[in-house]
Amino acid sequence: MSISTDGARVIVTAGGSGIGRAIVDRFVAAGARVHTCDVQQDLLDETVASNDAVSGSLTDVGVPEQVEQLVADAVEQMGGVDVLVNNAGIGGPRAALEDVSYEDWDRTIRVNLNGMFYCIKNVARHMKAQQSGCIVNISTASAKVALPMRSPYVASKVGVLGLTHTVAREYGPYGIRCNAILPGLIDNERGRGIVANQARERGISVEEREAEFLEFISLKCWIDPTEVGDLAVFLASDAGRHITAQEIGMDGNVEWEI
């Protein structure tokens, strides 16, 4: 067995920064060709410029027509699609459910869940034609424990798990696998910013808020974005060829969130 994706043709959504950028970089390091997308042109340009094996499209995955163009661009650039990593997502509002606007709810579901549907719908025929494919959906550890004040986000990410299982069953006979990764507390600018913002809101130190997060993580750890990238590469590699319909935590085991 080999932990390599040499020659694989990979789509990674929202590859301009954060976890998405790490996933792009790890697939390239494993020998893959990657077509990515982002809603920010500058971030997309930076990622594409990082390696000749990377191409990209400016895309909002919450818009079906833009996803159709993304997949068309990827097929034109790479000659097909072997792997889809559905990483794009937004945090949505942080508010009591009754205070969440209809617009914020709809946008969170549209990007985080509908966007994955749009992407899978448009790569499915390519993967079916070649009788193979791997789909990796990025959910969240919060889908296991729920999280007050984040109902649109959690609902969308629990929906991702249901979509993952259904796709695995429906497309398994065509040699297509589908799994979900559930990241935990991510050690990057965004993750550290969340802790700092919540500390400020609660009038406590950043160190105190960090300790509260880590108290309910079994391994008391932050997760480096490259760890999520490496897991995605493993699932897409020959070593993961019989893994499908799984919800895999890359989170140190988040027991609870407050």
- Considering only residues 173 and 2, tell me which one the structure prediction assigns the higher pLDDT: 173
| Active site positions, annotated | 153
Check if the beta carbon of residue 158 is closer than 8 Å to that of residue 143.
yes
Q: 1 pLDDT exceeds 60?
A: no
Domains delineated in the chain: 9-186+224-250 (3.40.50.720)
pLDDT digits (tens, 9 = 90+) for 6-41: 999 999 999 999 999 999 999 999 999 999 999 999
Residue-level pLDDT at 2? 53
With bands split at pLDDT 50, 70 and 90, how would you rate the model's confidence at 3? Answer: confident
Q: Which residues of 64-81 are buried (b: 16+ CB within 10 A; e: fewer)?
A: bebbebbbebbbebbeeb
Name the residue among 19, 18, 30 with its Cα closest to residue 9: 30
Mean pLDDT for the stretch of residues 112-127: 98
pTM (2 decimals)? 0.97
With bands split at pLDDT 50, 70 and 90, how would you rate the model's confidence at 144? Answer: very high
pLDDT digits (tens, 9 = 90+) for 157-209: 999 999 999 999 999 999 999 999 999 999 999 999 999 999 999 999 999 99
DSSP result, 156-199: HHHHHHHHHHHHHHHHGGGTEEEEEEEE-SB-SHHHHHHHHHHH
- pLDDT, mean over the chain: 97
* pLDDT > 90 fraction of the chain, expressed in percent and rounded: 98
Check if the beta carbon of residue 246 is closer than 8 Å to that of residue 179.
yes
pLDDT digits (tens, 9 = 90+) for 53-97: 999 999 999 999 999 999 999 999 999 999 999 999 999 999 999
Residue where the block lists tokens 């590699």: 237
